[in-house]
Structure 1
Amino acid sequence: MRICYCIDICFHSKNTSCLQNTKITCYNQRMNERLKESLKLLPSLPGCYIYYNSDNEIIYVGKAKILKRRVMSYFNRKHHDSVKVNVLVSQIDHLEYIITNTEVEALILESHLIKKHKPKYNILLKDDKKYPYFLITNEDFPRISIVRKRNINPEKGRYYGPYTDIRAMHSTLDFLKKIFPLKQCKTPKFKTRPCLYYHIGKCLAPCQNMVSSDEYKAIVHQAELFLSGKQSELMAQLMTQIQKYSDAEQYEKAARLRDSYFDLKKTLEKQKVVYENTKLNEDIISLLHEDGILTIVIMMIREGRLIDKKDFTYDVEDEDKTEFFATFFKEYYNTLSLEFPDKIVSNELEAVGDKTLYEEWLNIISGKKIKISYGKSAQGKELQALADKNCRVVLDNAKLSKMSKINEDFNNIGSYLKEKLHLNNFPYRMECYDISHIQGTNTVASMVTFINGLSKKSAYRKFKVKSTEGKPDDFLSMKEVLTRRLSRLGEKGWEKPDLIIIDGGKGQLSSVMEIVEGMGVTGIDFVSLAKRQEEVFLPHNSQSILLPRESSALFLIQRIRDEAHRFAITYHRNLRSKSSIKDTSKK
C-alpha cells in the first residue's frame, strides 16, 4: 500500500506587506530564525514540496530525492546569488509536502501538480496559446485544424504538437488537406448536395454519405501517421490501398490515391536524410546561452529523416541555466502530443544528471522505452553538432532582434543609462576596449564603437601593443592604447565618444582614470563592467550598480563588451597565425 503524508508549515506575519518590502537577506534571516525548528520536521524521504504565498496561491512546485535537504537549501545563503531563488523565497508564506515511495513517483506527481496549478515560478511555456497544435477532432467524420490552446478535455480530439512555427503549420495544413481530403466544414453547407470542396477534390463529402465510415477512418489514420512521422508505414499503407482499388477496378479512387502517394513522396524527398538507418527515431536537443538569452532547439529525426525543428527563446540568468533546462525538459515532454522518440540526445542533460530517473519517468509517461544519451558516440557527436549549428542561428537571430529593438527604443534606453549610471553625457557614441595576448606575446587591443545602440564597424580600431611585448601587463597595455586613442580626439575618424566602457572591476577602472586624468582629458564618461555579477562601477566610487538582469540597458553594454572581446581575440589569432607561418618558413 502506498502511503503519502502532507504537512503544512506556516510563516506567519502580522504585517505581510511590510515583510515583503524588507530586504531579501533580512527576510531569509528572519525566516530561518523562526522556522529552524519547523523545518526540522521535514523527512529525509522522496516527495514533492509546494510553496504558497500569503494569498494562499501555489507559486512553486518541486520534487526531491530527499525532501529535507532540498527544501532547506532554499533557505541557505549560498543560493542568494540567484535572483530567481531570492525572489521566490521572499514570497513564500507557507509550504506543504507530499511523500512518495520513489523519486520517479515524485517526478510524475510534480508534473501533474505543475500541469494542474500552473505555478508562476514553474511555467516556462507560460502562454501556451503561443505554441499551436494540430487537432484531429473526435467526430464521426473528423476534421484537421490548428488550435492555439490545447484543450484540457482530451475528448475533443487528438492533439499533435506543440509546434513553434505557425507559418510552417499553415503550409502543412494546406498540404494535409490536399493529400487527405477530410471534411473541412463543421456543418454541411447544403442539405442535398456536396459543397465546392468536394468538386475540387479537397473533401469526400461525408455529409452527403458519399464515402463509407471505414474508408474515411482509413484516411484519418493515414493523416495521423503523417503527423506522427511514420512515413514508411504511411507509404506502405497507401501502396497497399492503391493495389486494392486497382484489383477491384475502382480506378478513379486508385488514381486519386496514386496522386497523393507521389505528392507525399516528393515532400519526403525534400526532408534532410540524416542517416540511412530508417529505424533512427531520435530527438536531438541543443542549448546555448549568451548575454542573458537562452535558446533551445529540438530536432526531431524520425526514420532517419529530419521531419521538424522546434526552437524556444527565453531570458535567463546564467546561474539558473541548468535548473531552467531541467524544468523545460520535464514540461516539454509532459505536454508532448507527438510520437515520442526512441532516444533523446543532448550533452546538456549531463549537467542535469539523474539519467536513470528521467529514463524511468519517460518510460512511464510515453508507454515505451526511451533512452537518454549525452552524445558521446561518433554518431551522437555528429547529430549534436548539427543541432548546435541550428541553435546558434536561433541565438544570433534573437540577439539581432533584441538589438533592433534597442535601436528603436534607444532614446529611452540611453536616458535610462544616463540616469542610473549618473552620466554627464547622453551615451549616443559608446566605445569599449579589450586587451588580448598569450603570456605577453602578440599583445593587441581592440576598440569597438556603438552609435545610437548599434555597432558601427567602420569606426572599429585595432592596435598592436608595443610597450609590453614579452611581459604581460594589462595596465601598461591599456595605458598605451588609451594614450594613442585619446591623443587623436577630434581627428577625422576619431570622433570624441560620450561614454567609454572598460571590461573589468573597480581596480581596472581606477587604473584607467589615472591615465585619463593624467592626460587632462575631460567631457567623456567612463564606467567598467565586471563579468561575474555584471556589476557596473563608476569612477571614484567603491559601490557598484546592478542594472536589472533582463533590461535592454544591461544587454546593450554586455553586447558592447562582448563585441570588444570578440574583435580583440580575432585580431590576436590572426597575428599569431601569421607569426607561426613566418617561423615555419624560416626553419
Structure 2
Amino acid sequence: MSDCNKLTLRDKIALFPHSPGVYRYYDASGKVIYVGKAKDLHKRVAQYFVPPERLNVKTRVLVSKIADAQFSVVDTEADALLLENNLIKQYKPRYNILLKDSKTYPWIVITNEEYPRVFLTRRVEKGRGTYFGPYSSVSHANYLLDFFRRSYPLRSCKLNITGEAILRHKFRPCLDFHIKRCRGCCIGAVSKEEYSFYINEIARLLKGGVNEIINEYERAMKQASSELRFEDALVCKERIESLRKHYSKSIISSSSGADCDVFSLVFDGQDAFGNFLRVRGGAIIQSLNLGFRMNIEEEQESVLSTFIAEIESKFGALAREVIVPFKPDVEIDGVEFRIPVKGDKFSLLGLSAKNAREYLFNTLKQKERTDPDEYRRLVLEDLKKSLGMKDLPVHIECFDNSNIQGTNPVASCVVFRDGVPSKADYRKFKIKTVVGANDFASMKEVVNRRYSRMLAEHPDDLPQLIVIDGGEGQLKFASEALAELGILDRLMVIGLAKRMELVIRLNDPVPLFLDRNSHALKVLMHIRDEAHRFGITFHRSLRSKEQVRSILREIKGVGEQTEQRLLMHYGSVSRIASASVEDLSEMVSRPLAERILSTLNPELPLEEE
C-alpha cells in the first residue's frame, strides 16, 4: 500500500484539493478527534494552521492534538453537510463539541395509517412509517411538503382517522376541507383507494421518480389541452415547472434506505488507488482510500479482490449488495456484486471513483515534493503508455509557428529533458524559404533545419518524442521533413490540436483523447504552452524592432547606418524626437535633422535659420 510518511502534516494540508468535502483529524493513536465540512477543503483546513495567536483557546488545543489529516471529496456543499453528520455519528469525535447536541437532519415521513399523513420530523421511529431523507436543507424539505399539499388534497390534522371513526361520525371537517385543501377523509368524503393514489404518487417522487412523474404530467397536460380543459392543463404545467426548478435530492442519502458497499479503482502504472464507501440506511457512514503497489503484473480483477479482502479485515462482513466498476475474480457467499449503469447506485459509484482519482492525483503531488525524480519518471511512464511508445520520452521537443497578420514569420523549438524544460537548448527560427503566411511549409522548413543540423553535430541526441503544435496539416509536413532526413522511424512525432486537446498520430484517422486530468496530457500541454510563449516572445521582439525601423527608415535620407547610429546615440525614437535641431545636427546634416524632427513631431514648426 502507498505510504506518504515522508510528508509532514503541513505538507499534507497544503495538498488538500479545492473541492467541497469532509476532512478528518486524527490524534497520535489514530483516533478521529474532529470531523468538519468545507466548501473548499484546501482553504478551510489551512485556516487551522496559522500563528497560534490568531486562534481561540479551544482551537489551539485541537490543533496541538492533530497528528494526521484525511479528506473525502463530494459533489456539493449539501453532500458535505450530510456526510459530516454521518461521520460524526460514526466516530463521535472528541472535539466536535457543537455537534454533540443530538441534533439530526430532517426526514419526510409517510405514516402507517389508514389515511397516512406526510410531514417533517427529526426523529426516526421504527414502525411509524416510511422515511425519506435526511435533507440537509430544511427549506428544501418544507418546499417539497408545500408542493405536495398544493398538488394533492392531503390531510394536515393529527386525528386518528379510522373506518370505524368515520362510520360513527366522530369528526367534523376543518377549514382545509372548506377551502378545498383536503378532500375530507375524516368524514368519508374520499375513498381509501383515491387517497392511496395520492400517497403512492408522493412516495414515487420522494424515491426519485421525478422524471417519470414529469413525463406523466406532460402527457396529462397534452390530453387536457386537446380536450379543451385548459385549467387542468395549466395545473399540470405548473407542477412540471415547479418540479424542474426545485426538485433535487442528494446522492449522499438514498431514498430507498438500502445497505450496500461501494468499491472503485483507478490504475496508474504499477500503482492502484481505491476508494471504499459504506452505505447503511441510505447514508454514507464510512469513506476510506487505499493505495496498492503492484510489484508484478496483476489483473485488475485480482487487485479488486485484494482491495475487498483488505476492507473486510478492517470493517467486517460486507453488505449483501456490493457496487463495483467490474467483477472481481472471486465470489463471496451471500454477496451480490453489481455493476450499475444508471440511478442512485451509479451515482454512488461515480462519487467513489471521484474520490479514487483525487487520491491518485494527491499521491502524485506528494511524490512531486518528497521524490521529484520519481514523480517525473512516473509522469513520463504515463506519457509513454498513453502514446504507445517503445522508449521512455526523456527528451521531448516541441515546435510552434508564430505568424501574426502575415508579418515576421518565425518558429520556436523548446526542449524538455527528464520532464523539465532545458532552456539552454531552446531555439528560435526566422522563416527563410517560405513566402507569405504558410504554416505547413514553414513547419517543414523549421523541422528540416533543426534536425539537419542536429544530425551533423549531435547525431546521437535525437529526441524520443516530437510534438507539433497544430493539426493534421502541420503534422504531415513535419513528418515529410523527418522522412526526407531518414529519421522518421527512429522517433515518434505527434500533433497536439488546440481544440479539445486532441493528440493526432501519423496514419491514425482517429485522434487520441487523453483524460483532461491525466499527467500525460498535462506535460504535453506544458511543453506546447512553453513553445507558444517562447515563439510569441521572439515574434514580439521582431515586431518591435520592425516598428522602430519603419518609422526612421521612411524618412528620406535615413539609411540603415544612419538609423543605427542615431539609435545607438539616443537609445530610442522618443529621445530622438525630443532632441533639438542643434544636437541632432551633430549626428547628421542640419536639413536632415530638420526633416527627422518634422516627421517625428509634425505638430512643431521648423526652426528658422
Larger Rg: 2
TM surpasses 0.5: no
Q: TM-score, normalized by length of structure 1?
A: 0.36
